[in-house]
Amino acid sequence: MEQKLKRRLKRTIANVMSWACLIILSFFMMLLVYFLFIDGNPPIVINNEPLPISAETARPGETIIMVYDFCKNSKTQSELYSFWQRKEDGLIWEQSRRELSVSNIGCHVFKIPLVIPEDIPPGEWKRYNSATFRVNLLATHTVDWESEYITIQKE
């Protein structure tokens, strides 16, 4: 009789341990799915795409103003990747990477001076931007936007 009770007790403990492991594993799987696939709100929303430019034409070396109207929903920093692309043939010019550091949550309008590269060939060009935000430990969210076309003329 005592032997039977010991076996039953061992079986009960094994069942409880199995269920506990299953519940803990399920919890971590749901947490992993959340971190990988559920981002919540986008970290930034661009309100005025394509971004307006202060001039329709410019020459290399001139400064133009691009107006960014956006709402930031997260305090996370991001890496900004930017480049110029010509309309006629898709040529990419002057690629750059830098830290995008707007820490205030809320809506903002920035007027950003942008110098036309000295060695850019003439044509119709558009400025492309892509910001990658780390929204949680495992997931990133990338937001892309572009400017209006501007005609670059020879000097």
Residue 100 in tokens = 């995008």
Contact (CB, 8 A) for 124 and 88: yes
Task: Tell me the pLDDT tens digit for each residue of 26-65.
Answer: 998 888 777 776 666 788 889 988 999 999 999 999 999 9
Task: For 44-152, give the CATH class.
Answer: mainly beta
pTM reported for the whole predicted model:
0.70
Task: Tell me the pLDDT tens digit for each residue of 59-101.
Answer: 999 999 999 899 888 777 788 899 999 999 999 988 888 887 7
Nearest one of 101, 113, 50 to 77, comparing CA atoms: 101
Domain boundaries, the chain: 1-38, 44-152
- Respond yes or no on whether the N-terminal peptide bond of residue 50 is cis (omega within 30° of 0): yes
Which value, in Å, is the radius of gyration of the alpha carbons in the chain?
27
